[in-house]
Each structure stands twice: as C-alpha cells, then as structure tokens.
Structure 1
Amino acid sequence: MDKASKALKRSSVRLKSLSGGHGNLRMVIAQLRDVRSSAKAFMHVQTTASEDLVKWASKNENQAIQDTFAQLFELNTLWAEVQKEFTESLKGFIHQFELILEGEQHVDVGRNHLQAIEQREQKLEKDLVKAQRRHIPGADVNHIQRKLAEEKQAKQVAQQEVMTRIQENEAVKMIRVKEGLLQLSESYLQLARKCHVVFEAHRDVAQQIPDAQNRNIHEIQYEGCVAAQQSVTRAREQLRQGTPNRVQPCAPIPDEPPPPYSASQSPVVGSAHTSMELRYSSSPSTLVEGADVRWSAGYEDEVAGSMEKLKT
C-alpha cells in the first residue's frame, strides 16, 4: 500500500510537470516534502511508543522499571523538541528549491516571449515573400516590411532580456543551493550533537537499573532514582544552553576544481571578468546556452543585489 501511494504521488508530480515543465525539479521538491513528513511521522511514533511504555511501567510493581521509564519519557520529550527543530530546518531547505523553481519559471516567461516574437517574425517574412510574388501594391509591401523591422528590433531586445534573466537566475540559483546545503549540513550536525546529549543521558538512566544476574531477587535494591533524575536534568540544561555551532572541516578544500570540470568551465560568483555567452541554433525559436557561463563586469552589482534579497 505504501509503495502504491508513493507511485501515485510521483505520477501526479509528473502530470503536473507536463503543463509547467521542470519535472525533475518538481520531483525533488516533492521528495523533500516526503522526507520532512516522514521525519515528523517518526517523531510522533516515538512519542506514542514512549507514552505506552510509561503506561505499561506504571502497572508494574517494580520501582526500578517505573522510575526508569518515567525518566526516559522526560528524555523523549526533549528528543521530540530536537526533532521538531530539525523538521523546521528541512522546511527552509525545501523553500530554497521552491524559490529556484520560481526563478526557472521567470526565465521561461522570457523564453516564451522571445519565441512568440520569432514566430511573428517568421510569419511576416513569409507574408513578404508572398506579397512580392503576387505583385501586391507597394504600400502594403512597405507596411509588411515596417512590421518586420519592428519585430526584428523587438527580438533583439527580447534576446538581451533572456540573457539577462538567465545570468541572474544562474547566479541566484548557486547562491540558494549553497546557502540551502550549508543550512542543511548545520541542521544535521546540530541534530547529531543534541542526539548525543539526549541518548548519553538515556544510557545513564538505563545503567541505574540494578543488575539481576546471579543474584537473589529479594536482595536487589534500586538506588538510582536520584542519579537518573540528575542525568535528565543535566541533559535538559545542556540542550537549553545550546551546542557549538561549528566544527572544524575534516579536510581542506582543494584549490583546483575537481575533474571533469576545468577552470574555464566553472563559473565563480562575483568574478569581474566573466560574461555569459549564448548561441542561437539555425531555428530562431531554440535558445542554446554556450558551454561557458560567464558574467559581465557590470553584473557583479546585480549578483550582490540578489544576495541582499536572499538575506531578507
């Protein structure tokens, strides 16, 4: 049933992509939403299981079991809060890709506008040829030629606008991807640190249960109540104070770009010596991006403006 539900969701995303395009990006967003919903479901199931364990322990006459699961329930409450914070960070990561999709759609608007102009230009060129063959009066031919000149000028403006949109979109896309990945990495690191705090206390509480191997059950005494409470209190205080925000990188970042990319193929945000090159195929309605993505010197200010928008 779960596999069928997943297949149905993926099919619905593909169907939606038929009209709006960008199927792979839409699928990424849909899968990331599933990751977040699964994380939330996992958190809720853990909480429910912890509640049932407390109910079961309360029916026992064994004080060690009662106290242990009461303290572990407190730890699970802390752990649920930690996981809730993590799922909120996933929401921010998903939002970055939603904004990337908006940027792609903004470029599509420019491309569609350019394509419409090119189609009108082609129609006028055909009309002009027909008019010349049929010896239509010169006034009508001049009118077609004038309209054709206007469309050619509009096409040049639209081409420049498309190039500008692509340049801005690629710059902002890299900014969003980098910021999103860094935030996701930090969220996982924070989850790992806080997980260590919670389950180190979890282990301390479990160790307070007396060892019953090779001992007379009537001689066993539970004296770990205070120690267990102290472990939970210590974990709560550590989580309240927070954990270190950064760790040292495990390896230095290489100066040279990794293969198969070369230095000339790797665009660098903020470079003052780059400009984007676009080529048009023999079909004027097909926009072909060049192998190199380079930005003009004046575009550095536009990238800086985009970064300011991201921060707000």
Structure 2
Amino acid sequence: MNKAGKTLRRSSVRLKALGSGHSDLNMVISQLKDVRSSAKAFMMAQNTAMQDLLKWSLTCENLAFKDVFMQLNELNTLWSEAQKDFTDHLKEFSNQFELILEGEKHVDQARNRLNSCELVETKIRKDLKKAAKKAQSEEVRQLEMRLAQAERSRGLAHLEVVDRIQENECIKMIRVKEGLLKLSESYIELAHKCNVIYDAQRDIAHEIPDVHESDIQEIKYTGSQATRRAVSRVKDLLRQYRRSSHNMVPSAALRGEPPPPYYPNLSDEACSLSHGNNPDAGCCGSSPPNNSRESSQANFDLSNVS
C-alpha cells in the first residue's frame, strides 16, 4: 500500500510539473520532503516506544528496571532533540532546491520575453515586405522604425537571457555545494550524538545486575549513581559539540548581487555579449581562463539561448 501511494505521489508531482517544466527538480524537492517526514515519523515512533517501556518498567517491582528506564528516557529525550535538529537541516537542504527552482523560473521568464520579442520582430518584417510591394513609403518608413525598435528590444532580451543563465548557474553551484557541505556536517553531527548517547545507554544497561545461580532475593541493585553520572556525562558532551562552519560566500551573493567566478570558461558568445568588445574581461566578472586548465572547468553552453 505504501509503495502504491509513493508511486501515485511521484506521478502527481510529475503531472503538476508538466505545465511549468523542471519535473526532475520538482521530484527532488518532493522526495527531500519525504525524507524529512520519514525521519520525523521514525523519531515519533521511538518516543512512543520509549514511553511504553518506561510505563511498563514503573509497573515492575524491579528497582533496576525503574531506574534504568528512567535514565534511558532522559537519553531518549536528548536523542530526540538531536534528530529534530537533523530534520531542521534537512528542511534547509530542501529549501536550497526550492530556491534553485525559483532561479530556473526566472531564466524561463527571460527566455519567454526573448521569444515574444522575436515574434514581434518577425511579424514586423513580414508587414514590411508587404508594404514594400505596395510602394507605400510612409507605411514603410513607420515599419522600418518599428523594426529597428523591435531589433533593439530583441537584443536587450537576448542579453538578459545570457546574464540570467550566467547568474543562475553560478548561484546554483553555490547553493548545491554549500547545501551538501552543511547536510554532510548534519549527518556527522547526528552520528556523533548517536555514538555518545548509545555508548551511555550501553553503560547504563551494564548496571543491571547479572543473574547466574545466585538467589534472586540476594541480588541488589547498586547502579543508580552510575546511571545518573552516565546521563550527566552525555549532556556535557553534547553541550561541548560544535559544528564546522561552511559559510563559503557572503549571503549577499545569494540575493542577486554579482556572483563570484565559479565557471570562467563560458562560451565566447556569452562573454562578448556580457562584456562588449573587451577581450580581457572574463565571464562572471572573472579574469580570462588559463588554457592549461580549460578542460577541467565547467562549460555551460549559452549559444542556444534564443
């Protein structure tokens, strides 16, 4: 049933994306949301199981069980907090792709404006040919003026498309790289906290007295102080944990300001359109690419923007 529901949901996402395009990107966003929902569901299931274990232990006459599960419940609370932080980071990672999708839509809008300008220019050219055959000089003059204006509009729209693509590709690389670095650090943080918490859980479990051939009435539980120390030690270790910082670029670069030179080897056409006739200007405001490294640079084809 779950598999059928998942298939239906994925199909629904693809259908919704048919009109606007970018179905694969929409699928990535949808699936990342599923990952986060599943992580939250797993966390809730663990909490419920622990509450049931604690409730059961309190009905027992075994003091070891009562103390151990009381302390394990404390650890579970810490583990839930760690998982909640992780799901928050998953949301941040998903948001990066939602912002990438917005950037793709802006490129689409620029392309649509270019297409509209080309259609207007084509129509005026046809009207100009018809007017020239009729030898109507005044109409021809007006159409020539309109054609010149349409050509300028089309040229500006073409430049806008090139600029949008350059900016969008730069920002995509920034968002994906920084998003992956932060997500990786989130997994490392979760693994570290998991190791600390469940090492302590193992130590607490060892405090339950061993049962061999001795009389059950003679067994005494003496681990309450040790279990409390274990929980206290975990809290201290978790407070001391610090994540690595991966703030690669100023936040202003993600708000539309000129991006850094992440892909200097753009097509010659894009560079000439962006920087005029200046042969020394590189794409994205960078210096000209080193020929010895050209084969290793990202190469985005902007020659077919129209």
TM value normalised by structure 1: 0.78
CA distance in 2, matches of 1:218, 1:40: 43
What is the CA-CA distance between 1:13 and the residue it aligns to?
1.4
Query: What does the per-residue CA deviation read over 1:160-194, in whole Å, with 9 as the maximum and x for residues that have no partner?
Result: 11111111111111111111011111111111111
Q: Does 1:297 align with 2:288?
A: no
CA distance in 1, matches of 2:121, 2:243: 62
Residue pair 1:272, 1:296 contacting (<8 A) in 2 also: no
What is the CA-CA distance between 1:61 and the residue it aligns to?
1.0
Structure 2 counterpart of 1:192, one-letter code: A
Residue pair 1:107, 1:162 contacting (<8 A) in 2 also: yes
CA distance in 2, matches of 1:24, 1:236: 42
Provide structure 2 residue ranges, at least 5 long, that are not aligned to the other structure.
246-258, 271-279, 287-306
Paired position in structure 1 for 2:26: 26
CA distance in 2, matches of 1:12, 1:298: 39
CA distance in 2, matches of 1:296, 1:23: 36
Paired position in structure 1 for 2:5: 5
Structure 1 counterpart of 2:109, one-letter code: V
* Distance change (3 Å), C-alpha of 1:172 and 1:66: same
What is the CA-CA distance between 1:275 and the residue it aligns to?
4.4
Counterparts of 1:1-312 in structure 2, within 5 Å, are: 1-133=1-133, 135-243=134-242, 245=244, 270=261, 274-278=265-269, 296-297=281-282, 299-300=284-285
CA distance in 1, matches of 2:265, 2:39: 42
What is the CA-CA distance between 1:141 and the residue it aligns to?
2.4
Structure 1 counterpart of 2:184, one-letter code: S
Q: Which moved more, 1:4-13 or 1:108-117?
A: 4-13
CA distance in 2, matches of 1:74, 1:83: 14
Query: What does the per-residue CA deviation read over 1:16-64, in whole Å, with 9 as the maximum and x for residues that have no partner?
Result: 2122211111111111111111111111111111001000111111111
CA distance in 2, matches of 1:244, 1:12: 38
Matched residues, number: 264
**Partner SS for 1:20:** coil
Residue pair 1:163, 1:276 contacting (<8 A) in 2 also: no
CA distance in 2, matches of 1:100, 1:77: 35
**Partner SS for 2:19:** helix
Provide structure 1 residue ranges, at least 5 long, that are not aligned to the other structure.
247-267, 280-294, 302-312
Q: Percent same amino acid among aligned pairs?
A: 50
